Chain A
């Protein structure tokens, strides 16, 4: 083992290779090895999410400031005021709303959680609408409103402006639901579909390239981990996992025959 690779890194590598190959067995079919990998993955991430929420939100943003607000005396230094003052008592409101969500476990009091849900739905809708208007309407409109020609406008910019304007209008007309797509409207709507398909094709190709690079990255790692530095992790685990899949297949087919 090279000195630069620690025992902990070797363990991590074996785990990474093992779980990668366990998940890859899904390419053959659903099997107990994939199930094991899936359940561990789901369980770990769910547990991690709980810890993450506790350490990044619940403790620093709710419990700790509220505790300080309730216990710290008021003769504090002026500079410390924003964090440690009675102003943070308003945090009792989200605390109560959070506790109301826990009433979902009770069949008698679960209706109380609707107050929290109503608050969440109302507040996120209220916050989302201006953002959506800004990002999806206004910010899209401004770059469309270009001059067709002028002293500083080149012929290519004119062509671009025309293409963008026609495309935006055609796509908007495709999304008209009050008008049946017949005659001239149908022709414009089809032009809109054409524009969208060009855009989707580009997005498709781009994303496929990105996915391929992800596979290449993972395979490169697996090859690296097959080296003696990592005690042939990929080769050994590949044989073990293939063996386990074959064994489980044999057992399940024998079970089916017995039935």
Chain B
């Protein structure tokens, strides 16, 4: 036993010295290998990217410590350097929710496969790709993670927008409930909106003077809710125009809007029993350039001298050019827009202005159809609900409860 002791001592001291040497390296660099490195398809996206996460380690969480991501098309390589990262962001609520533990993870999104760090022509990832993560001190690699793999795919459902879906579903049920209520009782109360009462007056005036009515749908395309509301109001106005045997002119900035307006006006004339009076040429396209359109409409105003100008929809910098010319020719002017920056110009130059949501309410107000009246009532109910949420949410926020605030966060 005693003979064995020196050998045991030598071996023991050797091991200690080896460990001591390794400890020196870690002590010098104070870095550790990446931990819990994972790769997966980026959630809630249309495909095309792979996400990588790894645990935040205090020793590595320094600005001068770059991580190096390597990728390969096979698990055993060859490995290509993709990107170096410092100061990584770890909080991506659109992908990982609002959990406080998100801050414990670093995150990186990879969309392309590079042949080198300086590859200017990276290719999109098209097959399962393998990744490993290295931690470096800026010059040499100090440790690798395990190899992980992932393949991207498009997601049919964006879970980060679930709160919007729930709101829309609840809102739809509320609207449907009030529509059914309006069908049972068509005389639901809607407060007086002077600007809309004046439309009838304007059409009457135009008929008496034997002059046309100029109707503008705004400058946005059919993707804008203001334009949809404007075309809906156009239908009601055109029906009244047909009944009065007056004339309506609708210059359009968008060819699709023009086509929709032609259909809407044609339908209105049919409903009024005057299909023969419909003239498709009165709804026409001018140009899609903002100021060329404004110049042409101004010219139209001074040459045709319409008795009434109706500006519905969304407007930009041309609003004053249009409304000022309309005021100069002495036309009765009614505007309706939800463009906050242009509302002041319409208020100062028009006889009546429908502000914001009054534009959306106009169609229901003019038609008094149960479908639209019920919808308006449903909107009012939802507004009441929002007021309640705002009061409760502010109080809850004061008490340190962030549940309601998080409920309405969108990404």
Contacts and interface: CB of A to CB of B under 8 A. Distances in A.
Interface of A: 23, 26, 29-30, 34-35, 37-38, 41-42, 44-46, 48-49, 78-79, 81-82, 101, 104, 113-114, 117, 120-121, 124-125, 127-130, 132-134, 137-139, 141-142, 144-150, 161, 165, 168-169, 172-173, 175-181, 196, 199-201, 203-204, 207, 211
Interface in B354-379: 355-358, 361, 365, 376-377, 379
A124 B383 contact: no
Given A175-B383, A178-B380, A207-B344, A124 B223 contact: yes
Nearest to A43: B287
Contacts of B98: none
Nearest to A82: B124
B358 to A, nearest CB: 7
Given A124-B222, A175-B356, A176-B380, A79 B299 contact: no
Contacts of A117: 256, 259-260, 263
Given A128-B223, A137-B386, 14 more contacts: A30-B303, A41-B289, A41-B292, A46-B288, A125-B228, A130-B164, A130-B165, A138-B409, A141-B393, A145-B393, A169-B390, A178-B376, A178-B380, A203-B341
Contacts of B293: 42
A157 B380 CA distance: 30
B222 A120 contact: yes
B78 interface: no
Given A129-B168, A133-B168, A150-B400, A178 B190 contact: yes
Nearest to B379: A177
Contacts of B307: none
A165 B395 CA distance: 11
A116 B165 CA distance: 27
9 contacts: A26-B295, A30-B302, A46-B292, A141-B393, A161-B394, A169-B390, A172-B383, A177-B376, A179-B191
Main secondary structure of the interface of A (DSSP, over half): helix
Contact of B126 (A78, A130, A150, A200): A78
Contacts of A141: 386, 389-390, 393, 408
Contact of A147 (B167, B355, B376, B397): B397
A178 B174 CA distance: 15
B189 A180 contact: yes
A175 B379 CA distance: 10
B216 interface: no
Interface in B234-282: 256, 259-260, 262-263
Contacts of A149: 398
B209 interface: no
A200 B341 CA distance: 7
B126 A79 contact: yes
B410 A134 contact: yes
Nearest to A127: B223
A150 B395 CA distance: 11
B398 A23 contact: no
A107 to B, nearest CB: 10
Contacts of B296: 38, 42
A104 B221 CA distance: 19
A33 B232 CA distance: 38
Interface in B192-245: 193, 221-225, 228
A168 B390 contact: yes
B397 A200 contact: no
B45 interface: no
A34 B299 contact: yes
Contacts of A127: 223
Contact of B394 (A104, A134, A144, A211): A144
Contacts of B91: none
Main secondary structure of the interface of B (DSSP, over half): helix
B329 to A, nearest CB: 10
A78 B395 CA distance: 58
A175 B295 CA distance: 34
Contacts of A211: 317, 320
A101 B256 CA distance: 9
A142 B396 CA distance: 13
B364 to A, nearest CB: 8
A180 to B, nearest CB: 5
A180 B191 contact: yes
B167 A201 contact: no
Contacts of A138: 163-164, 167, 408-410
A79 B389 CA distance: 51
Contact of A128 (B193, B224, B361): B224
A164 to B, nearest CB: 9
Most chain B beta carbons < 10 A, residue from A34, A42, A173, A177? A177
A227 B161 CA distance: 59
Q: What are the 6 A-B residue pairs with the smallest beta carbon separation, nearest first?
A: A45-B289, A204-B344, A145-B393, A200-B344, A30-B302, A45-B292
B86 interface: no
B18 interface: no
Contacts of B25: none
B299 A38 contact: yes
Nearest to A161: B394
B376 to A, nearest CB: 6
A172 B380 CA distance: 9
Nearest to A139: B410
A120 B258 CA distance: 13
A38 B260 contact: no
A60 B357 CA distance: 39
A201 B390 CA distance: 26
Given A46-B287, A172-B387, A147 B398 contact: yes
B95 interface: no
B86 to A, nearest CB: 29
A148 B390 contact: no
Most chain A beta carbons < 10 A, residue from B224, B288, B320, B365? B288
